[in-house]
Amino acid sequence: MADDSSTETRVSINQKKNAQLAWLFSSPALLLLTLFLAVPFLMAVGLSFTNQRLVPNPNLPTQFVGLRNYLRLLEDDAFLRGLLNNFYFAIVVVPVQTGLALFLAILVNQKLKGMNVFRTIYFSPVVTTMVVVAIVWTFLYNPDGLINTFIQTISFGQLGPYDWLQNTKLVFPAIMLLSIWQGAGFQMVIFLAGLQDIPDYLYEAAEVDGATRLQQFFYVTLPQLRNTTIFVVVSTTILAFKLFTQVEVMTKGGPQNASMTTIVRLVHVGWGNLRVGYASAISIVFFIIVLGVSLIQRRFLQERREVA
């Protein structure tokens, strides 16, 4: 009994030491998260209920305005158009980019010579700075650019040229095309890792049962990639709501707010118009949207664990 008691005491002491070491090693990260995430978020919550401006003005002292900023969002056409564009972007880009990334991952997962070259080619747009990508595509979308030249050539001059970035109907699809091209390589790498984790014996068993390649894809590959697909879809959706750089560089939300997004509107209000209080309200709404997407992800993952 004495030995058992001393053993339990040593285990308890070791557990306390391990816990203290864990807090010690995690404290720098927790401190940085608190300073750069938690504190700014709480400040944004507080500022969203005021008329705070970026540059203090003695003639316009900071005042508590209650829910006025949030109510004003319902009448802000630019914000509403930006929010609608975010959902439009997510609905179109997420499935297309996910499907394209899965297709590319299957292609580069083949055991053939030179596959590393193709993996590098498909992934290279991801490591290229989005500002550079947006500038290059701005030239491509120019009325005299390569895209219009290509369209006119294959249509024998019957189509084009189009002013992609100044046409209210074409500007957002043009930005979608750029985003799909630039981001598919990242999802491809994630799918590739998932494909390489699928055991070979599953495909061997399917072949023994007489399953075709297409049947193997639907009954072996897709079920095994369920968690990977959920991660890709949710992360891509969150990135879709954070759409900013390519819009700001190429159109700044124009023409006539046709390419406006939530983050672009937030930056224009907070930095351009110096209305920090109103911009904070926009950021809180954006946070709630991202939180909702994260909760959806958690629900799907919980369902997956229950099934497993």
Condensed to tens digits (0 to 9), the pLDDT of residues 154-191 reads: 988 888 789 999 999 999 999 999 999 999 999 999 99
| 87 in the same domain as 34 | no
CA distances to 191, 232, 293, 302, 304 from 298, in Å: 20, 14, 9, 6, 10
Condensed to tens digits (0 to 9), the pLDDT of residues 276-308 reads: 999 999 999 888 887 887 787 667 755 655 555
Cα 78 from Cα 261, distance rounded (Å): 8
Across the chain, mean pLDDT equals: 86
Q: How many domains does the chain have?
A: 2
Query: Hey, what are 39's tokens?
Result: 């504190």
Q: Is it the case that residue 92 has pLDDT exceeding 90?
A: yes
Q: Helices 226-241 & 77-108, crossing angle to 10 degrees?
A: 150
Grade residue 112 by pLDDT with cuts at 50, 70 and 90: confident
pLDDT for the residue numbered 200: 87
| 78 in the same domain as 15 | no
| 118 in the same domain as 211 | yes
Domain hosting 16: range is 1-38
| 82 in the same domain as 4 | no
